[in-house]
A and B are shown apart, each in its own frame.
Chain A
Amino acid sequence: MARWIRFLIAIVVGAGLGLVYGWLVNPVEYVETTPDTLRIDYRTDYVLMVAEAYQGEQDLDLAMRRLAMLGDTPPAEIAYQAILFAQKAGYADSDLERMQALLSALQALNPIQEPPPP
């Protein structure tokens, strides 16, 4: 086998080892993440918490500030997506009602779309 071919094979093997080390053995670690990276079920539970708190406090500004932690998406859209997931995941009716109430209040400020049917 030609010398340069063996040299190329060595590079490929080395690159493979580097990828294994970089992706599996010692990958980049994200330990200080932001709420907008939360998985959809955690995001939904977060929205439910906001809805529960809103039910008691009736402070829509505070609820919107809390939802803003989940990213740049409009709060009503965040609540809407959460309700869709909650419906698929079989959340209790009482929880869905709280989230619907929050969504209705948010849509009164900034209508985006019809709330999903319960």
Chain B
Amino acid sequence: MNDEERGPWYLLTGLIIGAVLGLLYAWIVQPVQYVDTSPASLRQDFKDQYRALIAASYVANGDLVRAEARLELLGDEDIYRAISEQAQRTLAEDGATSQARALGLLAIALGQDGAYQPVPTQPVQTRPTNTIVPLTPTPTSTLPATPTPSSTPEETSTPTSTPEATGETPSSPATEAPVTTQDGQDGTPTETPIPRPTTTLTPTRTPTPTPGGPFILMSREKLCEQKFSQPMVQVEAKNILGQPVPGVLVIVTWDQGEDHFFTGLKPEKGLGYADYSLTPGMVYTIRLGETGQAVTDISAPECHSGSGDTFWGAWLLGFVQP
């Protein structure tokens, strides 16, 4: 068989061999290496640790805007849900540790923050401008306002980020857009969109509950209006003005154990609200805080319908801090 009879199939064979060699080189010998990653690409357990650190930092500095900006870096669809779920998970797994408390306080603060707006994390092509939000004094603003950058990135060709101080002194650039840098190919940084923070002045607040005396029981009510899937106790903590108090430690004890949780982790039910599932046959004692009034003889409440059916209800305990 001569060359004319064999046709052009050898060209296709060459292409395939070349493609295979190219893929081997690109995927195995010299794959794309990401060395300048963003928090959004972190593994889930590292994201949890990152969130816990954000919460610890928030408890230390009370800067909710900065905490929100940092949480945005993790790329969660709903940062409030993410932090709330982690707070409850940590409480369930580790008890009332300082980490669980910090996560809970941050979740509560985010839940209270009605004006929360996600910080954009995608680079935009427009040049940033400073947005100064006028300070509106409120009774809850107990810390001095701290200029905190929000992200209004612009595209540059430099591989490092430099906050642009135009007007207010910027604090740390907490919000950056994700950047992917190919490394190990020619050593030259690719054109990388780098955000430059703008300065946003926003009042911050102290998340800790108002100090006061020990919580005392004001009401104890058995709820049978609705059927609960399991018996539970619901707690509502209020201050002397009747305002709900979030972040209050609730201590539940029984014969063989003790559990802790906080009010406010379900802000959709009220900032001073917390609930706990009861085990039928067990007798519990509940108090708010280490020095609060102990409410004894709490057991699974049984309710009866008009037709004689029995179902589980709930105890509603109202506490007030004088």
Instruction: Name A's B-contacting residues (CB within 8 A).
Output: 3, 6-23, 27-28, 30-35, 37-42, 44-46, 48-50, 52-53, 55-57, 66, 69, 85-86, 88-95
Chain B residues whose CB sits within 8 angstroms of the CB of A21 once the complex forms: 19, 22-23, 26
Contact A30 B41 (CB under 8 A): yes
The secondary structure that dominates the A interface is helix
Chain B residues whose CB sits within 8 angstroms of the CB of A93 once the complex forms: 169
CB distance from A86 to the nearest CB of B (A): 7
Contact A11 B171 (CB under 8 A): no
Contact A89 B173 (CB under 8 A): yes
Contact B39 A41 (CB under 8 A): no
Contact B53 A90 (CB under 8 A): no
Chain A residues whose CB sits within 8 angstroms of the CB of B162 once the complex forms: 88-90
Select which of B12, B37, B147 is within 8 A of A92 by beta carbon: B147
Task: Give residues 20-70 of B contacting A (CB, 8 Å).
Answer: 20-27, 31-32, 34-39, 41-44, 46, 49-50, 53-54, 56-57, 59-61, 70
Interface size class of B (residues with CB under 8 A): 35 or more
Contact B70 A45 (CB under 8 A): yes
Given known contacts A18-B19, A37-B36, A49-B57, is B172 in contact with A91 (CB within 8 Å)?
yes
Contact B57 A52 (CB under 8 A): yes
Contact A23 B163 (CB under 8 A): no
Is B131 interfacial (CB 8 A cutoff)?
A: no
Contact B161 A41 (CB under 8 A): yes
Contact A39 B38 (CB under 8 A): yes
Is B179 interfacial (CB 8 A cutoff)?
A: yes
Contact A31 B41 (CB under 8 A): yes
Docked complex Cα distance between A73 and B31 (Å): 25
Contact B174 A30 (CB under 8 A): no
Given known contacts A34-B43, A39-B37, A89-B161, is B171 in contact with A22 (CB within 8 Å)?
no
Given known contacts A31-B41, A39-B37, A45-B70, is B32 in contact with A23 (CB within 8 Å)?
yes
Contact B14 A9 (CB under 8 A): yes
Chain A residues whose CB sits within 8 angstroms of the CB of B34 once the complex forms: 30, 33, 37
Chain B residues whose CB sits within 8 angstroms of the CB of A12 once the complex forms: 18
Docked complex Cα distance between A39 and B36 (Å): 4
Chain A residues whose CB sits within 8 angstroms of the CB of B73 once the complex forms: 42
Chain A residues whose CB sits within 8 angstroms of the CB of B240 once the complex forms: none
Contact B22 A15 (CB under 8 A): yes
Select which of B22, B37, B172 is within 8 A of A30 by beta carbon: B37
Chain B residues whose CB sits within 8 angstroms of the CB of A88 once the complex forms: 160, 162
Known contacts A3-B3, A49-B56, A92-B147; 18 further A-B pairs (Cβ under 8 A): A6-B14, A10-B15, A11-B17, A14-B18, A14-B22, A17-B15, A18-B26, A22-B25, A23-B26, A30-B37, A37-B34, A38-B42, A41-B173, A41-B176, A52-B56, A53-B57, A89-B162, A91-B163
